[in-house]
Amino acid sequence: MSSFDVIVVGAGPAGLTLAALLHQAGIAVALVEPQPLRHLPATHDLRTVALTPASLALLARLPLTWSAWRHVDYRQVRVEDADASTPLLFDAESMGVACLGRLIENAVLQCALQDCVDTLALPQYEQAVGATGVAAGQRWLELADGQRLQAELVVACDGAQSPLRRQLGIELWQHDYAQSALVACVHHSGDAQVQAWQRFERGYPLALLPLSPLAGVASSNLVWSLPRPRAEALLALSEAAFIDHLAPRLPPLYGRLLAVSARALYPLQARHADTYCADRAVLVGDAAHVIHPLAGQGLNLGLADVDVLVQELLRLRERGLSLAEPLGLRRYERRRRPQNQRMQQAMPWIQGVFAQDGPLGALLKGEGLAMLARHAGLRHWLGRQALGT
C-alpha cells in the first residue's frame, strides 16, 4: 500500500490547485482523478469562470504560464435591470485595479492546472475512489482497480456530488432553486472584450462574459438562469429562433448575433455540508458548498478554502502535529464556513430584490441602481466584496 501525507481526491480546479500548493510546500501529496483533462477543446467550453484578483493571487504561486492559455481580463462589469433605466457600472480604473477579474473557460483552466501538476511530477492515480476507512492512524482509500493508498489526511475535492462526502457520512443542507442555467457560446459582430454584462429580468440573471476570440470572431459565454420549464423550452428552440429571442435583450455593444453554439442546461441547487471535517478527512470547494452562479463566486470560494487549508496544514506541520489534528481542521472550517454561508445567503436576497414586480418594485430597483451609480464609495465597497479583496 502506497503512503502519503495527504491524498487529494478530485482534479477539478480546487483539487489541482491544492495538490500543487501542498507539493510545493514539501508535503508528500498524491492526486486521485478518474478523468484528468489534458486536451484543450478546439471550440469554446460552454462553461466559463470569472476568477477574482484574490483567486489570481493564489494561482500566481503556481508555475502557471498564463500566456499559454486563452483567457480574457475584463475591466468593466455592467449590471442592469429590464425595468430600470440606470445601469450600474463597475470599472477597474476608478477602483484603482488593473482588471476586475479574469474570465477563463472551465476546460482551459483545468488543462492549465493539470499541466502545472504534471510539471511538478507529483504522484497521480487515474482512478475513481471506491471505499474508504481508517486504520492504524491513517485513512485508506480503495481505488476502482482495487489498489489501496493511505495518508494522514484525505481531502475531498470531488465536486458537488462528492461520492467521498457521502462515504464519510457527512450530511448536507440542500435547496433546489427550481431554476436551470442555460449556457452557450454566442458569436457577435460587436467587440465586447473588456466588459462583463448582466441583466436581470424579473430577478432572473442573463449574463454575457467575454471569451478569447477563436478564428477572429468576437464571442461571449452566455449564462442565463431561468425557471426550469422556461430554460427547457429555450433549449428546444432552433438556433434561429433562439437568436430572435436573445437579440432584443442585448445592448448595442454586441452588434449583430451571428451564431449560437449548442446549448446546455445546469440545474441550480444550493448545498452546504453540515461539517467540513471528518476523521482524517476534510471537504474543499464544491464538495463542501455549492451556490447560485449569479455572482460568479463558486470556484472563488473553493480557491479561498484551498488557501486557508494550506495555511492551517502548514501551521500544524510547523508545530510538529499530525496533518489530521482535529483542532487544525476545525480551525479551517471556522475560518471558511461563515464566508461561504454569507455568500450563499446573499444569492436569494439579490435575486429577490431584482424580482420585485409592479410600480413599487420598479421604483425600488430604479432608485437602488441610480443611488449606487451616484454613490462611488458604496459602489466601490460592493465591487471590493465581489473581488474578494
**Which positions lie near ligand FAD, rule CB under 6 A?**
9-15, 32-35, 47, 49-50, 128-129, 157-159, 163, 181, 183, 223, 266, 285-286, 293, 296-300, 302
> What is the full DSSP assignment across 237-304?
S-HHHHHHHHGGGS-GGG-SEEEE---EEEEEEEEEES-SEETTEEE-GGGTEE--GGGS-HHHHHHH
How far is 349 from 353, CA to CA, in rounded Å? 6
d(CA 371, CA 219): 32
Residue with smaller CB distance to ligand FAD, 201 or 356 = 201
Instruction: Report in angstroms how near the CB of residue 301 gets to ligand FAD at its nearest.
Output: 7
Which are the contacts of 374, defined by CB distance < 8 A and separation ≥ 6?
Answer: none
User: Residue 67 Cβ, how far from ligand FAD at the closest point, in Å?
Assistant: 22
Q: How many CA atoms lie within 13 A of 114 on its CB side?
A: 20
Taking CA atoms, 272 is separated from 56, 178, 290, 295, 343, in Å, by: 25, 17, 7, 17, 11
Q: 377 Cβ partners below 8 Å, 6+ apart? A: none
Shortest reach from residue 295's CB to ligand FAD, in Å: 8
Shortest distance in whole angstroms from residue 315 CB to ligand FAD? 23
Q: Closer to ligand FAD at the Cβ: 312 or 325?
A: 312
Residue closest to ligand FAD (Cβ) = 12
Is the Cβ of residue 84 or residue 209 nearer to ligand FAD in the bound state?
Answer: 209
Nearer to ligand FAD, 17 or 325 (CB): 17
**257 and 222 Cβ atoms separated by less than 8 Å:** no
**CB closer to ligand FAD, 84 vs 268:** 268
Task: Give the C-alpha separation, 8 to 15, whole Å.
Answer: 6
Q: Which is nearer to ligand FAD, 33 or 83 (CB)?
A: 33
Residue 263 Cβ, how far from ligand FAD at the closest point, in Å? 12
Q: State the nearest-atom distance from the C-beta of 350 to ligand FAD, in Å.
A: 15
CB of 286 to ligand FAD, least distance (A): 4
Nearer to ligand FAD among residue 138 and residue 344 (C-beta):
344
Cα separation values, 328 from 26, 154, 310, 375, Å: 18, 14, 11, 42
End-to-end CA distance of the chain: 43
CB nearer ligand FAD, residue 46 or residue 218: 46
CA-CA distances (angstroms) from residue 170 to 14, 25, 117, 135, 273?
20, 29, 29, 19, 7
Q: Are 311 and 349 in contact (CB under 8 A)?
A: no
Report the nearest approach of ligand FAD to the CB of residue 188 (Å): 20
* Contact (Cβ atoms closer than 8 angstroms) between residue 55 and residue 297: no
